[in-house]
A and B are shown apart, each in its own frame.
Chain A
Amino acid sequence: MWFALLSFLIINLILIVMEEILKLPQSQLKLHIKELAEDYYVNYGRRVCTSCPSDINNMLITLRKHYKMTNFEFKKLNGIYKMKQGGSVTISNKSMTDEIALEFLSINKERISLFSKYPENWEELLDNPTVEPKVDVEPIHLEETPIIQSDLRDELSKYKMQELREMYPDIKATSKEDFITLVLNED
């Protein structure tokens, strides 16, 4: 029983630490890339190329989903948008949290068309952010650890061939399908 309790506490501690790290601004987040990469490896069984920007982006997006930090996701996986005209703050899947997404939508509700995933009651959340988000669009399956191959195949399919080549420089293939198959076989 003590062992179970200790395990529960450790898991929760890791959860809190990872969430805190993922909330850090870009400049400080860079200092924790190795910890995040290790956590990503533990959860998904794949080593991240820590010198490849696109691979790091992919890792951050996946970990944010993993820790259920956001119910929002842009259609453009690597898209970046300015929060408001004339400002210096941007929003992307890499930095997405529910709070930031709602701030972005509060400026212009039509921006919802930019999202591929969002809570069903997003308009209600704009008025009252404390309401529980109703998620009915492609729920994230946390229990699937490590990630099943079909999910990973779908995830990798979103990338362009050039981006895949940057993420997996050792893999050679002429078609995207073959490339992804080789990636999955490698893991």
Chain B
Amino acid sequence: MSCIKKITADITFDCQDKALKGLAGSKAVIINFDDIDPTATTSTGATISELNLKSGSTGFSIGWYKDLGSTAIEFTPNSEVVDGFAHSFLCRLGTSSAANAEIASELKGGRFIIVVETNYKGVSNADAFKVYGFENGLELSEMTGNSGENAGSLLFTLRTKEDTYEEYPYAILSETDYLTTKASFDSLFASV
């Protein structure tokens, strides 16, 4: 019964640390799950202190307009496996170009993690960067396109695969301080 946990701290609300919605910079970094170097990546609980990719690997930036990219989580109680959280990343491929058709094909066959910077950054900006799919990755669960809707864009969702789960609703990426983490994010975690 060791899986049953207890609350160990107060759940508080601080007026100086108000909630804020949205993702910052209209940009995320998408990383191939297999490119993560597990021997050089460290985490404690819900905090990742080092996110390193295998030598020669890099993440890729994924951009969007206004608030057209977003993340979501939900609790997924399950009678057959351990309960956990399902992560989602919703975004769109802006145009029906040949390049985006290639990307769509790559998305359907891959497993990824997504790193975003949220508008909410927490005390000392320590909670600015969130990682989704850190434990089991995210896979394409939905992609739709309609020439008469959404300006012809392809809308897609990357989601935790069915019957897998993430222990935490999101992981916080905090490599020493905000500037160090931001540098990793801006450089797409490229290992060069």
Instruction: Give chain A's interface residues, CB within 8 Å of chain B.
Output: 79-82, 85-90, 108, 111, 114, 161-162
Contacts and interface: CB of A to CB of B under 8 A. Distances in A.
Contacts of B175: 86
Contact of A81 (B94, B179, B182, B192): B192
Given A85-B52, A162-B94, A90 B192 contact: no
Contacts, number: 37
A85 B51 CA distance: 10
A87 to B, nearest CB: 7
A125 B95 CA distance: 45
Contact of B183 (A79, A87, A161): A87
B180 A86 contact: yes
A179 B109 CA distance: 33
- Grouping DSSP codes into helix (H, G, I), strand (E, B) and loop, the B interface class, with mixed when no group exceeds half, is loop
B184 interface: yes
B94 A88 contact: no
B179 A88 contact: yes
B177 A88 contact: yes
B34 interface: no
25 contacts: A80-B186, A80-B187, A80-B188, A81-B187, A85-B52, A86-B50, A86-B175, A86-B176, A87-B180, A87-B183, A88-B176, A88-B177, A88-B179, A88-B180, A88-B182, A88-B183, A89-B183, A90-B183, A90-B186, A90-B187, A108-B192, A111-B192, A114-B192, A161-B97, A162-B95
B24 interface: no
Give the size category of B's interface with A: 20 to 34
Given A86-B175, A162-B94, A81 B190 contact: yes
Interface in B153-192: 175-177, 179-180, 182-184, 186-188, 190-192
Given A88-B177, A108-B192, A82 B52 contact: no
Contacts of A111: 192
A88 B192 CA distance: 15
